[in-house]
Amino acid sequence: MQENRCGQCNRKLAEGSYIRLNIKCPRCNTLNHLSAPSTVQERQTSVEETQAHGRTAY
Ligand SMILES: [Zn+2]
């Protein structure tokens, strides 16, 4: 089982496996973007391109 912690305050946010997860830390309000380290099915490699579209939800 995989533990997922907040990048800011290291609070434990979730446990388990996922492909991609956006989770807001209840303690410090940091929005954490988590993605599984090895996803063979996922072919898109450039993460930055998704941010090119002006409007992001956060
Ligand atoms: Zn936090």
CA of 49 to the centre of ligand 1 (A): 26
HEC readout, the chain: CCEEECCCCCCEEEECCCCEEEEECCCCCCEEEEECCCCCCCCCCCCHHHHCCCCCCC
CA of 43 to the centre of ligand 1 (A): 30
Start-to-end C-alpha separation, the chain: 28
Task: Give the domain ranges of the chain.
Answer: 1-36
44-39-37 Cα angle (round to 5): 105
pLDDT digits (tens, 9 = 90+) for 43-56: 555 555 555 666 66
CA of 32 to the centre of ligand 1 (A): 8
pLDDT digits (tens, 9 = 90+) for 4-22: 999 999 999 999 888 898 9
CA of 56 to the centre of ligand 1 (A): 21
